[in-house]
Amino acid sequence: MTRYIAAYDTEKAGDCLATCHKIRTVHEQFDFPGTFFIVGKRLEEEGAEYRAVLGDVPSFEIASHTYSHIILRDHPFCGNTPDNMTRQRELVLGKERIEQTFQRPCPGLRPGCGFANALRGDPWLVETVASAGFGYVSSLLWGPETTVPALLEKPFSYAEEGYPDLWELPGHGWHENLLKAHNLTVNVRRIVAWPSPFPEAVPLRPIHTPEEEFAVNKLFIDRAIELDLPYVSLIWHPWSLGRFDPEMRMLKLTFAYVRERGLEATTYEAEWRRMMQLQQP
């Protein structure tokens, strides 16, 4: 049975923290676990506040969203790869900040922006992510040719690259900020694939209401169940959720639907541990 992961790319100063308070309340109402990928720099500025709002909920996983959101692979919309020393620093320091702030190990990484081909084709990056001590990376966040939405891909290990213990756990669907045209640097119409592999999930214009957002979420959840995916997880950003839907209606509708469909809610870390166990002979 497919499981559901609520996950948040937590990155913007101020706005993300403010929305995390609201997100926590909804999670408590529904007794839902969740994964927060947090940018390390935010913890240098707002670490005590983040610890207060997220640190004492045992079912919350705190993972890394790199140190400063520098893009780790060339990306057509998000920027170009810096030198290897900078890339390594983003990984190591990002992990350290989580571990220092929350006093717990951080096996998970979501690189800023994500990529259309995960870490494949960049052996240096695979090796450096593994040697930084990460057990999983959630970097496959785009559809073919770096389009949205990200398709419903299954997890895989980087065994072919020589790292069978490093797992890729993809994210699915829209980067919800793009669904709402919240990113002014990118014209969303230019990043929708044609012909779309999932046309029902591509509205003809940016959405205007939390109910419309839920309707798109529902398509991905239903399709993931049909495909018998181990889990489905949408790509959410607290700053964008808070701006669009200050009452968190979409979150409540989505969590209620997950319950209605009988899906277990989980975290990326729990899913990673499950994958590793399945792999054991």
- The single residue listed with the structure tokens 């419903």 is 152
Dihedral sign from CA coordinates of 245, 249, 255, 260: negative
Please identify the residue of the shown chain whose CB is closest to the bound Zn ion: 9
Q: For the CB of residue 191, give the shortest distance to Zn ion in the complex, in Å.
A: 16
By CB under 5 A, which span of 9-17, 48-56, 90-98, 144-152 interacts with Zn ion? 9-17
Q: How many CB atoms lie within 10 A of CB 89?
A: 16
Nearer to Zn ion, 166 or 235 (CB): 235
User: CA 38, CA 247: separation in Å to the nearest integer?
Assistant: 22
By CB under 5 A, which span of 14-22, 105-113, 114-122, 123-131 interacts with Zn ion? 105-113
Q: For the CB of residue 39, give the shortest distance to Zn ion in the complex, in Å.
A: 7
Nearer to Zn ion, 78 or 258 (CB): 78
Contact yes or no for 106/67 (Cβ under 8 A): no
Q: With binding defined as CB under 5 A, does residue 9 bind Zn ion?
A: yes
Q: For the CB of residue 26, give the shortest distance to Zn ion in the complex, in Å.
A: 21
Q: What is the DSSP letter of 81?
A: -
Q: With binding defined as CB under 5 A, does residue 33 bind Zn ion?
A: no
By CB under 5 A, which span of 2-10, 52-60, 156-164, 258-266 interacts with Zn ion? 2-10
Q: What is the CA radius of gyration of the chain?
A: 17
User: CA 218, CA 139: separation in Å to the nearest integer?
Assistant: 22
DSSP letters for 203-270: -SS---SHHHHHHHHHHHHHHHHHTT-SEE-EEB-HHHHHHH-TT-HHHHHHHHHHHHTTPEEE-HHH
By CB under 5 A, which span of 7-15, 82-90, 140-148, 262-270 interacts with Zn ion? 7-15
Q: Return the residue of 112, 114, 155, 171 that touches Zn ion, per CB under 5 A.
A: 112
Count of residues engaged in binding Zn ion, rule: CB under 5 A: 3
Q: With binding defined as CB under 5 A, does residue 11 bind Zn ion?
A: yes
Q: What is the contact surface with Zn ion in residues (CB under 5 A)?
A: 9, 11, 112
